[in-house]
Amino acid sequence: MIKIAKVVTTRGIKGEIKLVSFSNISDLFESLSSVIIGDAPYKIEHVKYVKNCVILKLAGIENPEDARAILVGKDVYVNDEDMPELENDSYYVKDMIDMEVYEVSGEYIGKIKSIFFTPANDVYEIEQENGKTVLVPAVKEFVENIDMTDKKMTVNLIEGMI
């Protein structure tokens, strides 16, 4: 399962819930028919957006009291196979974790351990074999190639990055 959001509060009198989405796929929730919250699957009846939050109406949750007691504060998941296909040059974080990273010269740098999301650009956290961390902005100036088949990234780092 893939964590895609967190239930932060209820909305309205019909049991709608307000989510903070962890995805940058703008229409992700429209492409889903159900989500998993806690250990239970819920069918999505409708989706709305208010500012930067997703509003869901789920089957079986009919009032704010039930939504608050059962769902608020919990993470929202989907099955991996329910995630939509991505466009070229877009990747799921889960598919990039543990990807091997090499300098264009062929020198092994380490493996991606995490990806930070910043307003300017994403940042790859690469753990070296010696335990040190290298941070590489996910921009074309540094990332030469991403090979999802071989789980290998080639980067062109400037002096001082390592």
Higher pLDDT, 152 or 2: 152
Residue 141 has pLDDT above 90, yes or no: yes
Q: How far apart are CA 158 and CA 162, in angstroms?
A: 9
Q: Is the pLDDT of residue 127 over 90?
A: yes
Q: What is the pLDDT of residues 80-109, one digit of tens each?
A: 888 887 777 778 888 899 999 999 999 999
- The vertex-107 CA angle with 122 and 145, nearest 5°, equals 40
Instruction: Give ∠ CA 30-120-125 in degrees, rounded to 5.
Output: 90
Q: What's the pLDDT at 151?
A: 95
pTM for the model: 0.69
pLDDT beyond 80 at 138: yes
Domain ranges (residues) in the chain: 2-82, 93-155
Q: Is the pLDDT of residue 110 over 90?
A: yes
118 band by pLDDT with thresholds 50, 70 and 90: confident
Q: What is the mean pLDDT of residues 26-54?
A: 92
Return the H-helix or E-strand segment holding 11. strand 2-11
Choose the CATH number for 2-82 among 3.30.300.30, 3.40.20.10, 2.40.30.60, 2.60.370.10. Answer: 2.40.30.60
Residue 40 CA to residue 70 CA, distance in Å, equals 10
Q: Which residues pair with 123 in a beta bridge?
A: 116, 137
- Asked if residue 26 has pLDDT above 80, the reply is no
Q: For residue 91, what pLDDT is reported?
A: 83
Residue range 93-155, CATH number: 2.30.30.240
Residue 92 is encoded by which pair of tokens?
């799921």
* pLDDT of 162 higher than 90: no
